[in-house]
Amino acid sequence: MTKTPKGDDFAASAAIRLKRLGARYRRRRGELDAIIGASKLNEECGVFGVIGTPDAAALTALGLHALQHRGQEAAGIASFDGHHFHNERHLGLVSDNFSDAATLHRLKGSAAIGHTRYSTQGDTVLRNVQPMYADLDRGGIAVAHNGNLTNARKLKSELVQRGCIFQSTSDSELFLQLTARSHQLSMVDRLIDCLKQVEGAFALVVLTKDALIGVRDPVGIRPLILGDLNGSAILASESCALDLIGAKFVRDIRPGEVVICRANGEVESRQVFPPHSPARPCIFELIYFARPNSIVDGKSVYQLRKKLGMRLATEAPCEADMVSPIPDSGVPAAIGFAQASGLPFEQALIRSHFVGRTFIEPE
């Protein structure tokens, strides 16, 4: 049996793997807008975090690559080595910036968080790239955010009038500013105090000197899951990030829940906001955005898309010679429609697989 490399060997192995995966990914970019047009949707990013392993940065880089479909503008990783925080943020793809073993070695520590950016607010410039970091009186804090705050403009205006200085134009910086101004004693309680002031969609991974923290908004608009790798807790936007590194899926983070993960493997749960019934997850995640091999809110993305196609055949039957999908997200739905209607499934449109998701490329 081949042993999994550790420490420096694992970082070097991860770097080599990212170079190979990145080359494959770059070959798949460039022509998709010729098929579906260059639509610009603005609400997605990918987040990942792990604690309790010496390979935290390398695992985070691999996890972010698995979430690359959620954001192609920029990527960043922050780590903590027990004494100091380290932060690397770059414009471009994960594999373009974290496939060098020297870069991963600079991100020392047994805990790390990462972010792939697809901007909701703020220009595509380095100061808006996450994770965002700040030194507070209770220690450092790094934040990676997927979502969009609907009261960001109001909050920022109030904070600027009180003398706060913002270093970015991203709404995500509000989590740092509001946490810094809280009068609560612990960093977790300060973060919770912050969460009670924001409105909108947010799935967060937060790194402090003591813990890795995961947060999901009260109605569960953005996805966030808990995983495990040999006793090390993992947080990620989608389960496909766990598959790439050989981790196991534990459960979804509940809407309104805060989970505090420790280096010793302990995971504490706090239901900060009362559960909303029913939850209101973004339907776009299941219809289009999430990878088909992911599990989102307990549902197989592939199977749900297939069932939607079957439902469509029942509700809107039609006379046709065949069923053909708009590749690739439409394939499972077309299969379901074909099976339910008895029509043949044919690939009338062939998408080049040397193409990526150009609709999320920056202007």
Kindly list the catalytic residues. Answer: 45
How far, in Å, are 47, 128, 185, 322 from residue 78 at the CA level?
A: 12, 14, 24, 50
Phi, psi of 224 (to 5 degrees): -160, 135
Phi, psi of 18 (to 5 degrees): -65, -35
The answer to whether the Cα torsion of 62, 67, 69, 74 is positive or negative is negative
Q: H/E element holding 178?
A: helix 173-181
Q: How far apart are CA 115 and CA 129, in angstroms?
A: 8
Q: How far apart are CA 254 and CA 225, in angstroms?
A: 9
Q: How far apart are CA 140 and CA 143, in angstroms?
A: 10
By residue count, the chain amounts to: 363
Q: How far apart are CA 234 and CA 51, in angstroms?
A: 7
Q: Counting runs of H as helices and runs of E as strands, what totals does the chain give? A: 12, 15
Angle at 49 between CA 43 and CA 51, to 5 degrees: 165
Q: How far apart are CA 138 and CA 176, in angstroms?
A: 13
The answer to whether the Cα torsion of 63, 65, 69, 71 is positive or negative is positive
- Residues 6 or more apart from 114 whose CB is under 8 A from it? 47, 48, 49, 60, 61, 63, 64, 75, 76, 77, 78, 131, 144
Q: Count of alpha carbons within 13 Å of 180, Cβ hemisphere only?
A: 18
